Amino acid sequence: MANKWVYLFKEGDATMRNLLGGKGANLAEMTKLGLPVPQGFTVTTEACTQYYEDGKLINDEIMSQIMEHVGKLEEIAGKKFGDKENPLLVSVRSGARASMPGMMDTILNLGLNEEVVEILSTKSGNPRWAWDCYRRFIQMYSDVVMEVGKKHFESLIDKMKAQKGITEDVELTADDLKKLSEQFKAEYKSKLGEDFPTDPKAQLIGAIKAVFRSWDNPRANVYRRDNDIPYSWGTAVNVQMMAFGNMGNTSGTGVAFTRDPATGEKKLMGEFLMNAQGEDVVAGVRTPQHIDQLKDIMPEVYKEFVEICNTLENHYRDMQDMEFTIEDQKLYMLQTRNGKRTAFAALKIACDLVAEGMITEEKAVSMIDPRNLDTLLHPTFDAVVVKTREPIAKALAASPGAASGQIVFTAEDAKNQAAAGKRVVLVRLETSPEDIEGMKAAVGILTVRGGMTSHAAVVARGMGKCCVSGCSDIVMDEENKVFKLGGKEYHEGDIISFDGTTGKIYDGEIPTVEAQIVGEFGKIMEWADKYRTMKVRTNADTPEDARKARELGAEGIGLCRTEHMFFEGDRIDAFREMICSDTLEGREAALAKLLPVQQKDFEKIYEALEGHPVTIRFLDPPLHEFVPTSEEDIEKLAKAKSKTVEDIKAIINSLHEFNPMMGHRGCRLTVTYPEIAKMQTAAIIRAAISVSKAHPEWKLKPELMIPLVGESAEFNFVKKIVVEVADKEIAESGINLEYEVGTMIEIPRACLTADEIAKEAEFFCFGTNDLTQMTFGFSRDDAGKFLDSYYDAKIFESDPFVKVDQVGVGKLMEMAIKLGKAARPEIHIGICGEHGGDPSSVEFCHKIGLDYVSCSPFRVPIARLAAAQAAINSK
């Protein structure tokens, strides 16, 4: 049988999401539930993939199925494309598997032409409506299908309004709208050199192709990368009969949530506009009304809508985000989906649903997006300081969190200045999809216009970024990069603070404080811990970081880097003296100064961890990173070593390497200077002994980790040194201390020879930053310069330094695990690269059987949740 590329809404259901996209599957499901849905059909996501495979062409088979379904829809509707009596108008809507709000395009009122608009106008007795539909259609079609920018049409509307001395679109008359349609078509012709298409079927195909194309537009690509949505999924296209919200004052359109997407509170939330269509509500054309007001305007419709909301929420067992349109008092449902929400709301809703008996704990754990937890771990304003400050204004609390930073006026400036290391807040009239990257770069977003469902609000919540919207007190002059608020002028670079939880805006800087895991957050994390099987450790070099990570639930340290400890105060002097010694005695003398200091550091870390495991890694970076650069420091070092400045400079020069990341570093340092490893072993073991004496109940078992091993003999060489020193220290102490010597696995050769290495190594820890670098042969410090071109060329979908490359690097990891366990069944294996805090990488780590992931302190809760989800999903 030929492939089925097109489905009527009545042929599908919610389980067919992969094929029909989220929007299409839910339209089908709502149809099945008997809800009032304008009927239509869905062209599948597979058709989209096929379109790209065929070189951006709709092939004959797909084309004929589309046309066949146009016929079926005409029958269902009792209307026909281009008909003289009863013309059919449709919307053409994108809809991928995962919802990507606003990322792709929709066209409304398709099917109109000069003739049809006249028929509609006469038959309906509502010429204003007919011409409003037509001018909207020309606008959307030109913009979306032909890529003539929206702004050309908007400026024509603005001109018309100015001529007539009116401010609102709804004040335009039928005649005005007719004139506008003519002007629009003229604009179209002047831009494209051809007439606006009149054949509805040709319009339809143009629109379907445009939706397919929009899957590949730049903003969709960025959105997918940020949200882990594969390019290969494709988008479906929904062709649906129009419901008209713009027929006059008994019509309207709106959006609503069954629970508050900002707080999670169980109450209907939403906004609508009378006599409006499509995205007028979210576009901020007029200020929308609150959904409760619908009760007074149309009590019957309101009642029906509330019932539908309840039906949908109970059916999907999750908070729903719905779009509806009222056409002359009759309600139509146009979309429902599990609503996007703040992290805070997500936790509350999940816990409430469990309490309401709607879902299980496991389900609650799996419905939280780990990436969103970030926001909850972000700082809020220092409560004491904020009390002493008067807000200069208050607007909508659109997305929680606190932001304090330097003002920028464009997304471009936000991006550039953030890249230059500034904390910036983006202040704009309103935002649009072009601003996404700037919004990402800013610490907060403040807009003059827009409600709770405005672009800025929705996107900021998705990003977990603080946003205050609709601050109409601001007198904005975007062009000159200045605004007035609270009697003061603000220019680029001035500092302002605002709170996305209260909507309050303050002049100047306000210090922030860290968040805590309490309430619903605590409950979800408790459930996550109950279901996960992988441990979560942290990467921490200081007792403060270690303590923070413990508060956030870390069960140990997976990576304690020792090099950072050498930079503080006068330690660096001793370290430099060591580097610049040309004799063993000289180096030992310098190391002797460092030993007690390093021992103290380790003691503090063991104390902070209270008996939980700590993996300490030996010195890793190339020595060149430690040498002095200023003349003053060089002279100081020369004096200390009784050498000439020239001698020191010669030593520094001799340390220079062309490719230091592949140079004299890691365990190679121990091979040339065993005394460094001896000192570090002694410091670790002495620290453990002294802390064990104070706290015998902690049963410390130091884990000493050798970096950059690629050959078992190399590891064995270092291990022998470590064991000699450690055993001697332990014997002298008179207490019984066990310890383990293991290795980082970060060189491809170590994966290939893991069985050999595991004969002596007692644990492995994947250093996936270096492993990724060396597997790809990309410098992790420079890859950023060309990765963008890799995304554009679709070679990569994501940064392999952020998300583990499961195909290549992952294969090496699996090989290392298999070989390592065969040689030493009890070996424990973890990961301590940046990937340890990335949810999809954590899932992969669970799958390949790691014992733990280790990540930076603030990512610990994310890793705990991701690990639980991996365990639940693999059940």
Q: Out of 82, 101, 197, 391, point to the residue binding ligand ADP (CB under 6 A).
A: 101
User: Candidates 144-152, 236-244, 304-312, 854-862 — which segment interacts with ligand ADP by CB under 6 A?
Assistant: 236-244
Which of 705, 707, 692 is closest to 606 using CA atoms?
692
Answer with the entry of ligand ADP, Mg ion, none that 240 interacts with (C-beta below 5 to 8 A by kind). ligand ADP
User: Which CB sits closer to Mg ion, 270 or 767?
Assistant: 270
Count the alpha carbons within 13 Å of 647 in the hemisphere toward its beta carbon: 15
**Cα–Cα distance, 457 to 271 (Å, whole number):** 14
* Smallest distance, ligand ADP to C-beta of residue 619, A: 53
Give me the 330-349 binding string for Mg ion, x by CB under 5 A, dash otherwise.
-----x--------------
Do 615 and 762 touch, CB atoms closer than 8 A? no
User: Which CB sits closer to ligand ADP, 397 or 463?
Assistant: 463
* Smallest distance, ligand ADP to C-beta of residue 255, A: 7
Sorted by sequence, the CB contacts under 8 Å of residue 71 that are 6+ apart come out as none
Do 821 and 802 touch, CB atoms closer than 8 A? no
Do 400 and 344 touch, CB atoms closer than 8 A? yes
Considering the rule CB under 6 A, would residue 279 count as an interface residue with ligand ADP? yes
**Cα–Cα distance, 554 to 529 (Å, whole number):** 11
Q: What angle do CA 485, 490, 491 make, to 5 degrees?
A: 155
Do 854 and 831 touch, CB atoms closer than 8 A? yes
φ and ψ of 187, to 5 deg: -60, -45
Answer with the entry of Mg ion, ligand ADP, none that 91 interacts with (C-beta below 5 to 8 A by kind). ligand ADP
Answer with the entry of Mg ion, ligand ADP, none that 38 interacts with (C-beta below 5 to 8 A by kind). ligand ADP
**Cα–Cα distance, 541 to 549 (Å, whole number):** 11
How many residues bind Mg ion (CB under 5 A)? The answer is: 3
User: Which CB sits closer to ligand ADP, 108 or 718?
Assistant: 108
Identity of residue 525: M
Considering the rule CB under 6 A, would residue 248 count as an interface residue with ligand ADP? no
Considering the rule CB under 6 A, would residue 454 count as an interface residue with ligand ADP? no
* Smallest distance, ligand ADP to C-beta of residue 266, A: 24
695 annotated active-site: no
User: Candidates 98-106, 165-173, 645-653, 690-698 — which segment interacts with ligand ADP by CB under 6 A?
Assistant: 98-106
**Cα–Cα distance, 581 to 643 (Å, whole number):** 10
* Smallest distance, Mg ion to C-beta of residue 285, A: 14
Answer with the entry of ligand ADP, Mg ion, none that 691 interacts with (C-beta below 5 to 8 A by kind). none
| Contacting Mg ion within 81-120 (CB under 5 A) | 102, 106
Considering the rule CB under 6 A, would residue 93 count as an interface residue with ligand ADP? yes
Considering the rule CB under 6 A, would residue 242 count as an interface residue with ligand ADP? yes
Answer with the entry of Mg ion, ligand ADP, none that 93 interacts with (C-beta below 5 to 8 A by kind). ligand ADP
Considering the rule CB under 6 A, would residue 325 count as an interface residue with ligand ADP? yes
Answer with the entry of ligand ADP, Mg ion, none that 474 interacts with (C-beta below 5 to 8 A by kind). none
* Smallest distance, ligand ADP to C-beta of residue 94, A: 6
* Smallest distance, ligand ADP to C-beta of residue 243, A: 4
* Smallest distance, Mg ion to C-beta of residue 461, A: 16
Sorted by sequence, the CB contacts under 8 Å of residue 679 that are 6+ apart come out as 591, 592, 594, 595, 598
Do 873 and 532 touch, CB atoms closer than 8 A? no
* Smallest distance, Mg ion to C-beta of residue 241, A: 16
Answer with the entry of ligand ADP, Mg ion, none that 816 interacts with (C-beta below 5 to 8 A by kind). none
Count the alpha carbons within 13 Å of 533 in the hemisphere toward its beta carbon: 14
**Cα–Cα distance, 211 to 487 (Å, whole number):** 47
- Report DSSP letters for 408-454, one per residue: ESSHHHHHHHHHTT--EEEEES---GGGHHHHHHSSEEEESS--TTS
- Report DSSP letters for 256-325, one per residue: EESS-TTT--SS-EEEEEES--TTHHHHTSSPPEEGGGHHHH-HHHHHHHHHHHHHHHHHHTS-EEEEEE
For the chain, how many residues are written? 875
Identity of residue 445: I
**Cα–Cα distance, 689 to 733 (Å, whole number):** 7
466 annotated active-site: no
User: Which CB sits closer to ligand ADP, 338 or 806?
Assistant: 338
How many residues bind ligand ADP (CB under 6 A)? The answer is: 17
Please report, in angstroms and rounded to a whole number, the separation of the first and last CA atoms in the chain: 35
Considering the rule CB under 5 A, would residue 26 count as an interface residue with Mg ion? no
Considering the rule CB under 6 A, would residue 377 count as an interface residue with ligand ADP? no
User: Which CB sits closer to ligand ADP, 111 or 127?
Assistant: 111
Answer with the entry of Mg ion, ligand ADP, none that 108 interacts with (C-beta below 5 to 8 A by kind). ligand ADP
**Cα–Cα distance, 290 to 267 (Å, whole number):** 13
* Smallest distance, ligand ADP to C-beta of residue 105, A: 8
Considering the rule CB under 5 A, would residue 320 count as an interface residue with Mg ion? no
| Contacting Mg ion within 349-388 (CB under 5 A) | none
**Cα–Cα distance, 277 to 325 (Å, whole number):** 8
Considering the rule CB under 6 A, would residue 453 count as an interface residue with ligand ADP? no
Considering the rule CB under 6 A, would residue 400 count as an interface residue with ligand ADP? no
Q: Out of 12, 278, 451, 628, point to the residue binding ligand ADP (CB under 6 A).
A: 278
**Cα–Cα distance, 651 to 582 (Å, whole number):** 9
**Cα–Cα distance, 537 to 778 (Å, whole number):** 27
* Smallest distance, ligand ADP to C-beta of residue 23, A: 6
Considering the rule CB under 6 A, would residue 323 count as an interface residue with ligand ADP? yes
Which of 826, 831, 371 is closest to 615 using CA atoms?
831
Considering the rule CB under 6 A, would residue 207 count as an interface residue with ligand ADP? no
Torsion angle, alpha carbons of 30, 33, 36, 41, to 10:
50
Considering the rule CB under 6 A, would residue 132 count as an interface residue with ligand ADP? no
Given the residues 309, 466, 832, 855, select the one marked as catalytic: 832
Answer with the entry of Mg ion, ligand ADP, none that 50 interacts with (C-beta below 5 to 8 A by kind). none
Given the residues 69, 455, 828, 846, select the one marked as catalytic: 455
Strand partners, 617: 561, 705
Considering the rule CB under 5 A, would residue 253 count as an interface residue with Mg ion? no
Q: Which two tokens stand for residue 38?
A: 């304008």
Considering the rule CB under 5 A, would residue 238 count as an interface residue with Mg ion? no
| Contacting ligand ADP within 26-45 (CB under 6 A) | 38
* Helix or strand run (H / E) with residue 762: none
Pairing of strands 320-327, 252-257: antiparallel
* Smallest distance, ligand ADP to C-beta of residue 170, A: 17
Pairing of strands 106-110, 320-327: unpaired
Which of 425, 397, 422 is closest to 490 using CA atoms?
425
Considering the rule CB under 5 A, would residue 325 count as an interface residue with Mg ion? no
User: Which CB sits closer to Mg ion, 279 or 746?
Assistant: 279
User: Candidates 158-166, 239-247, 265-273, 612-620 — which segment interacts with ligand ADP by CB under 6 A?
Assistant: 239-247
Answer with the entry of ligand ADP, Mg ion, none that 278 interacts with (C-beta below 5 to 8 A by kind). ligand ADP
Considering the rule CB under 6 A, would residue 109 count as an interface residue with ligand ADP? no
* Smallest distance, Mg ion to C-beta of residue 222, A: 16
- In this structure, how many other beta carbons lie within 10 angstroms of the beta carbon of residue 125? 8
User: Which CB sits closer to ligand ADP, 334 or 426?
Assistant: 334
Q: Out of 6, 48, 108, 112, point to the residue binding ligand ADP (CB under 6 A).
A: 108
Strand partners, 570: none
Residues that bind ligand ADP (CB under 6 A): 38, 91, 93, 101-102, 106, 108, 240-243, 278-279, 323, 325, 334-335
Active-site residues, by number, are 455, 832
Residues that bind Mg ion (CB under 5 A): 102, 106, 335
